Structure 1
């Protein structure tokens, strides 16, 4: 995948997991994200909230139910059951490896035939200082698409890439339905086109390799 519009676009997410084969089997059956989601063996200590949520944005409630259903069948735990809200319809699950996933749609009604299509893949980082981390990423080549002061930031990224958003850590944990407490490894690496660096909250980036 060649991304030239934004030099800091995210082209893959690497989850550090205890069992790579088990993770590949789970995620292939649950979500089918292809090479946008990759895995690396790791036993780095980690406890509690890891500071991020992986979000799948879809078109209608039945797609949410389908993806949540296959995740649970594969061993995921429901943190927030799928239901209607002011913003739409969605639910939150925790995969067997510990990563937290939110599956949601802005639609409260069916808009077409049943599908498992994913419209957007978003990594939401729960950070200590939203404004400072926003500036860090602007300095590394991202353009802000939406910003709500110190509460939330969403960056403008190419349509084919993974989107990046920032949220306060406690707000992110609340959205996920877990305690904000946590320590140790984030167990996630962002594979992108901006080289290798680590952001102010300890989230690491490394160069994306198409054949990785």
Structure 2
């Protein structure tokens, strides 16, 4: 059943991790503990390998803040997949947390207009999918409102209420390339999304559970 576009949204993001205490220490040091919850790794998730098909992306004010987050992640045990650098779209870098989740930190600004901060402007859950157009329609049919769309390459959904999490879709192979990793991977995504869309598993294997609107 389709949910009203006025209320349908992504409200919670949970990672399944092998060591909750260790993952919590990383998230706290990285500054993202308020954005994600952590769950013990279940049997269904234990067999996953390679690229898990998504990234958690932080948008911040400027390059200095990007570097501050990347440095904090590395000091907390993350592996650098892409060091902070300029691109056509701004400045950003990619790290992989000890639990395997990939985080991207970026800004559209190429120059700093102030000192580095610990502020996060946007938090985006970017899913790598086989068919962006089909997945966009799938989520739209479930009540999510499309905010931006670029053909079959990228789609982004509107955020409602007080939720800080934004959902976006990207071609899986393109996402892996952007993150500096191989697109090969199998098994559980080790990601559980919660929202007002109901309980289901989408065509690309991403699991959703019911969660209250925020």
8 A Cα contact 1:91 1:102, kept in partner = yes
Once the 2 structures are TM-superposed, how far is the Cα of residue 159 of structure 1 from its aligned partner?
6.7
Quote the Cα distance in structure 2 between the aligned partners of 1:30 and 1:192.
25
Give the match's secondary structure for 2:26: helix
Paired residues, number:
206
| 1:20 is aligned to 2:20 | yes
Structure 1 residue 107 corresponds to structure 2 residue 106: no
The alpha-carbon deviation at position 160 of structure 1 amounts to 3.4
Q: Indicate conservation of the 8 Å contact 2:196/2:212, yes or no.
A: no
Choose the corresponding residue for 2:167, options 164, 167, 170: 164
**Partner deviation per Cα, 1:107-159 (whole Å, 9 max, x = no partner):** 01112232110000000000011111111100111111111111111111127
Instruction: Give the direction of change, closer, same or farther, for the CA distance of 1:113–1:160 in structure 2 (3 Å limit).
Output: farther
Q: Point out where structure 2 has 5 or more consecutive residues left out of the alignment.
A: none
1:115-154 matches, within 5 Å, as 115-154=117-156
Gaps of 5+ in 1: none
Judge conservation of contact 2:96–2:103 (CA < 8 Å) in 1. yes
Q: Displacement, 1:193?
A: 1.8
Alpha-carbon spacing, 1:6–1:100, altered in 2? closer, same or farther (3 Å): farther
Q: For the Cα contact (< 8 Å) 1:7–1:194, is it kept in 2?
A: no
Mapped partners of 2:183, 2:116: distance in 1: 35
TM-score, normalized by length of structure 1? Answer: 0.93
1:175 equivalent in alignment to 2:188: no
TM-score normalised over the length of structure 2: 0.92
Structure 1 vs Structure 2 CA RMSD: 1.6
Structure 1 residues 65 and 181: CA distance shift in structure 2, 3 A: same
Q: Quick one: distance in 2 between partners of 1:6 and 1:189?
A: 23
